[in-house]
């Protein structure tokens, strides 16, 4: 295991976060229906958090000797998340959001395990915090889907 592999996986996560960010902004802009106000506000909260995380991931990558991707074309090539277009129905959007959060957790756990193997506690801790946050959002959105 090398830091080069960790850098690659962190760049994948950075790319995933950029697509997640843009998708979530689109959800925020395009949501319609009776639950507009609650979801419009929640999506803004999520994309604001993602924007902060993007910056933290890029700076962390630099701090451990990596070079963060910074072109959207690279994000599109690297990300495992799909772009969503023209979604406006609340349940459909929440289900798409859940798929993205699950993918983020999968990549965060991959990075966490690699960091643990390298003894990189800072990266490992960062991933644990992200996983915990995303798991909480998954729980809340799954609860929301039940009504």
Task: Check if the beta carbon of residue 3 is closer than 8 Å to that of residue 64.
Answer: yes
Residue 94's pLDDT is 98
Residue-averaged pLDDT of the chain: 97
Residue 1's pLDDT is 73
Q: What contacts 13, CB < 8 A, 6 or more positions away?
A: 57, 104, 107, 108, 111
Provide the terminal-to-terminal Cα distance of the chain, rounded to the nearest Å.
46
Average pLDDT over every residue of 72-84: 97
Q: pTM score, two decimals?
A: 0.96
Domain count, the chain: 1
Task: Check if the beta carbon of residue 127 is closer than 8 Å to that of residue 115.
Answer: yes
Q: Is the pLDDT of residue 121 over 90?
A: yes
pLDDT tens digit sequence for 1-22 = 789 999 999 999 999 999 999 9
Task: Check if the beta carbon of residue 87 is closer than 8 Å to that of residue 93.
Answer: yes
Range of the domain at 45: 3-145
Give the CATH number of the domain where residue 63 resides: 1.20.1260.10
Q: Is the pLDDT of residue 145 over 90?
A: yes
Q: Residues of the chain with pLDDT > 90: what percent?
A: 98
Q: Decide: helix, strand or coil at residue 113.
A: helix
pLDDT tens digit sequence for 88-112 = 999 999 999 999 999 999 999 999 9
């Amino acid at each position: 295991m090398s830091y080069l592999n960790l850098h690659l996986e962190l760049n994948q996560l950075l790319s995933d976060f950029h697509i997640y960010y843009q998708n979530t902004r689109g959800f925020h802009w395009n949501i319609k229906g009776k639950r507009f106000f609650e979801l419009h506000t929640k999506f803004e909260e999520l994309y604001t958090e993602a924007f902060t995380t993007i910056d933290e991931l890029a700076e962390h990558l630099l701090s451990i000797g990596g070079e963060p991707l910074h072109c959207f074309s690279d994000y599109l090539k690297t990300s495992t998340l799909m772009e969503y277009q023209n979604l406006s129905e609340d349940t459909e959007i929440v289900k798409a959001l859940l798929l993205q959060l699950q993918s983020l957790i999968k990549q965060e756990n991959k990075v966490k395990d690699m960091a643990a193997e390298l003894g990189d506690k800072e990266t490992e801790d960062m991933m644990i915090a992200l996983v915990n946050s995303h798991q909480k959002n998954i729980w809340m959105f799954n609860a929301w889907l039940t009504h």
